[in-house]
């Protein structure tokens, strides 16, 4: 079943002013329940605007957003309920921390949702566990944490609301490769354990490629592609035309293909490329299918 459906969604910033700018035009697609969907596009492609539609922070200029089959703007007064069901982690979420302790900050969302003390406590600890924040850190002030820990605390604050859908907008921006990998694997674990729907927005293909079931490619406010990672990446040339950068390893395979060597260009990782080359060499090594 689809959790979120966008029906012909169009959005215009500053309608009727001299700053008018169309950010989305005629976007339609559905996100399936339990799916891990990657959303990519260059800056200004409309990807961030699109995901802000899903929890009702922005209202479509025309078209509808359905959550579990129901138009979220049917009763505009109840839009807050949608925000508890669709959790949204913004870019640089650590900039939203404000409470005296990390624990209190994470419980801000659950309390707004109206959870009991007991339930809040359970959710806060659970969320902290998902992002690898220790008991010790929960007692600290959020401003004493390191950059990576702050980011985790902020993400925990959204996870603790126990949303059906979790949206993360560039969660790894500004992190070093080590921090990036750790955070991504925490998100994957969360998705596996909770089995809920996750939308990950990024302009880094490397991040998205390995972990998404499907990838939505946005370009100039329109849906450009929506397919499995392999199928998307085998269209490297198309992606580059949209100003997106494919992983270096995919690029290598594209170059080999251009030079008349028949390799699969839909590779996403070094390991996959390694196996692909080995099978081309018809070599002794493991030629197992990945």
Beta bridge partners of 174: none
166 makes contact with other proteins (CB under 8 A):
no
76 makes contact with other proteins (CB under 8 A):
no
| Residue of 19, 192, 195, 288 that binds other proteins (CB under 8 A) | 19
CB nearer to other proteins: pick between 28 and 176: 176
Binding mask 108-147 for other proteins (x = CB under 8 A): xx--xx-----------------------------x--xx
Beginning with the edge strand found earlier in the chain, give each strand of the sheet holding 86-89 in spatial order.
86-89, 165-169, 197-202, 36-40, 214-219, 222-228
How far, in Å, CA of 158 to CA of 165, rounded?
Answer: 11
How far, in Å, CA of 195 to CA of 193, rounded?
Answer: 6
280 makes contact with other proteins (CB under 8 A):
yes
Segment near other proteins (CB under 8 A); pick from 4-12, 24-32, 192-200, 280-288: 280-288
47 makes contact with other proteins (CB under 8 A):
no
- C-alpha dihedral over 171, 174, 178, 179, to 10 degrees? -50
- C-alpha dihedral over 134, 137, 138, 143, to 10 degrees? -140
Segment near other proteins (CB under 8 A); pick from 27-35, 64-72, 122-130, 243-251: 243-251
Give the shortest CB-19-to-other proteins separation in angstroms.
Answer: 6
3-class DSSP assignment, residue 75: coil
Segment near other proteins (CB under 8 A); pick from 23-31, 107-115, 123-131, 217-225: 107-115
255 makes contact with other proteins (CB under 8 A):
yes
Q: CA 100: distance to chain centroid?
A: 29
């Amino acid at each position: 079943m689809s959790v979120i459906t966008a029906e012909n969604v169009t959005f215009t910033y500053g309608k009727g002013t001299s700053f008018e700018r169309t950010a989305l035009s005629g976007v339609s697609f559905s996100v399936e329940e339990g799916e891990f969907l990657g959303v990519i596009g260059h800056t200004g492609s409309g990807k961030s605007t699109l995901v802000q539609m899903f929890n009702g922070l922005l209202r479509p200029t025309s078209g509808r957003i359905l959550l579990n089959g129901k138009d979220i703007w049917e009763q505009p007064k109840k839009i807050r309920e949608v925000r508890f069901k669709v959790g949204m982690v913004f870019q640089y979420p650590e900039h939203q921390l404000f409470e005296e302790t990390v624990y209190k900050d994470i419980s801000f969302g659950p309390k707004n949702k109206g959870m009991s003390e007991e339930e809040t406590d359970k959710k806060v600890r659970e969320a902290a566990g998902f992002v690898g924040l220790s008991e010790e850190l929960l007692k600290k002030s959020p401003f004493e944490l390191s950059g990576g820990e702050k980011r985790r605390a902020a993400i925990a604050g959204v996870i603790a609301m126990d949303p059906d859908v979790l949206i993360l907008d560039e969660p790894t921006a500004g992190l070093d490769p080590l921090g990036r990998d750790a955070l991504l694997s925490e998100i994957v674990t969360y998705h596996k354990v909770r089995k809920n729907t996750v939308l990950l927005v990024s302009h880094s293909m490397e991040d998205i490629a390995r972990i998404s079931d499907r990838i939505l490619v946005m370009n100039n406010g329109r849906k450009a592609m929506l397919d499995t990672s392999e199928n998307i990446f085998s269209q490297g040339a198309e992606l580059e035309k949209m100003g997106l950068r494919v992983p270096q390893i995919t690029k290598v395979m594209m170059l080999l293909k251009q030079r008349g060597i028949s390799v699969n260009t839909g590779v996403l990782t070094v390991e996959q490329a390694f196996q692909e080359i080995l099978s081309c060499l018809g070599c002794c090594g493991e030629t197992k299918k990945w």
